[in-house]
Amino acid sequence: MDTVVAVYTGQGLAEPLKKQFDELLPGVRLVNIIDDSLIAEVVREGEVTPGVKRRLMQYYQHGADLGASIILNTCSSVGEVASDARPFFDIPLVKIDESMAVEAVESYRTIGVVATLPTTLQPTMRLLRQQAEQRGKSVQLIDGLAAGAYDALVSGRPDEHDRILMETAVKVAEQADALVLAQGSMARMEAQLAERVGKPVLSSPRRSVLAIKRLLEAERTVR
């Protein structure tokens, strides 16, 4: 049985991703490693600290030691750590937002990047630029920081979080061909946002699981 080890920096995405795996990869063993102190430290310090990097590298290694066929990094705020870690492993290390970024830069010229944390917004914008550059594409990125939404969510005010996020998305969509949701946890609003803004809205969880499915299928053909 193939095993995917998913590394989380917070609690919120584990159950939604499990539903995607149950639907798309029901025969795959999914193992979760969750350390919610990671995102707390990134938010508090405003950057990915050396301590966060060390712990993530340890978790990736734990995943490999558990017999992972693939490691899934589920947090866009620390995606650059996953990129740096790839040369140290002989199994794929999938970044949750990479397939989304590829689709966005291949399909759209002006992309609004919506996030509730600056520590997620900036890495996502860098990822989009990197993917565009690799493909010889020219893209314009629009900063869509939904200021105050994250604080509302962690303070137990999800309705306020959703309102701020919606207002930000509507404003950004006026200037963009499509929207990218920088955090996987925002995927629950993908359809609602698309209906409201009338433009394509891309989120990462399902696309990352489909990418893993393609990798596993390719590996099976080699076997």
Assess whether pLDDT exceeds 80 at residue 186: yes
CA 96 to CA 129: how far, in whole Å?
16
pLDDT digits (tens, 9 = 90+) for 190-199: 999 999 999 9
Start-end of H helices in 32-189? 37-45, 50-65, 79-85, 98-107, 118-134, 149-154, 158-173
- Region for residue 158 given its phi and psi (left: phi exceeds 0; alpha: psi -120 to 50; beta: otherwise): alpha
Radius of gyration over every alpha carbon of the chain, rounded to an integer in angstroms: 17
pTM greater than 0.85: yes
**Residue 223's pLDDT band (boundaries 50, 70, 90)?**
low
pLDDT digits (tens, 9 = 90+) for 64-113: 999 999 999 999 999 999 999 999 999 999 999 999 999 999 999 999 99
